[in-house]
Amino acid sequence: MGRQYDEALIGAISGRSFITEKRGLEVQIRPVPDDEREHVLDPRILEVSRKKMRNVSMSPSWTSLIGMRHRPDKPTYRLLDGEVQRDEVLMEAADRYIDLFVWTPPNHKEASPALVYLHGGAFMAGNVLQFEHQLEFIAEKSGAVVVYPEYRLAPETAFPGQIEDCVLALDYVREHAGDLGIDPHKIMVAGDSAGGSLTNACVQLRGAGAVAHAFEIYPEVDLAGEQGEGYEDFPAIADQEDVARFRIDHLRDSDGPMVELCAHGKMSPHDPLISALMLEDCTDFPPVTIVTSEYDPLRIPDEKWATKLRSSGIDVEVIEYAGCDHGFFDHFGVYPQSEDVCLLMAEKLKEMAVQ
């Protein structure tokens, strides 16, 4: 099965995008492709969210790991035009192995850029099956090599175990650049949500010399922060207001349990390695792309993070998807915005190839 929407919607997102200013920050708005009204949920997201509201009592608790890690409500679809080679490597890492997946497209050329992708899932969930369709698509559209590590998950592994695995995966890609056919100076690190936090940790520990571009999709940048009780930053039309607030509150309510289960007393939520907004010196960051969602409470700290980077002289592009909520990237082939993000990432990789 292919796209669950008309492919023309991708062109509508791009064609109707515009630049605006929010709190002194320049932001590119990627609109809902088939509803020109302001402050409306994307119709596909609205439908899924209303189903979740009806079944809220069936949602897995934070103590149900099987419930968190098995998410049948997040199907993805393959959108390739051809075939992309996938290899699996068990990377040695001191007393353990890290499972790496590598996609090499048929249009790959030697010394290409590479993407190291760090998945989201509150540091406790997510695996290659949830992201393989996105990543093989990015490889095909960009001609770049894409690498995905299965880092250790909380609560079985507390912080900083996830960070250590991701940094080791980045080191592996740089050290094996010749075998992978990539340029070690053209590595993009990217991630969604918790993966965005891990992306920032990789930059902090290895610097702009190792990471040529950071692409962060609604990143978690302030585990210690309060996203507030108000809804004034998330206006919605009257007949969708309850759904928008349901999605916002769902994420707000998750912060406390997530910090407790992931940190386990070993790291403070104020540590910049897991809360990049706490970082005092951002000057060693490469260019950064930050993707946000209109109905995501993380959008507020993400905009603050973008402002902080920009005030440090870092080249930052902020892209907001109107009508979307947290997690839309997971629904590849279901939400056109997920495909659009993949195309933006592929375009960044193609730009890196000629720089």
Residue 182 has φ and ψ, to the nearest 5°, of -125, 165
In the block, residue with structure tokens 């093989």: 136
Contacts 24+ apart (CB under 8 A), 246-251: 246/49, 246/52, 246/53, 246/56, 247/49, 247/295, 247/296, 247/325, 247/326, 248/295, 248/296, 248/297, 248/325, 251/296, 251/297, 251/298, 251/326
Q: Is the peptide bond before 160 cis (omega within 30 degrees of 0)?
A: yes
Q: What is the DSSP letter of 248?
A: H
Order of all β-strands in the sheet with 25-30: 18-22, 25-30, 316-325, 288-295, 213-217, 182-192, 112-118, 145-150, 96-104, 85-93
Q: Is the peptide bond before 155 cis (omega within 30 degrees of 0)?
A: yes
Q: Is 193 tagged catalytic?
A: yes
CA dist 184 and 187 (Å) reads 6
Out of 112, 193, 275, 338, the active site residue is 193
Map residue 61 onto helix, strand or coil. coil
Residues annotated catalytic, as ranges: 193
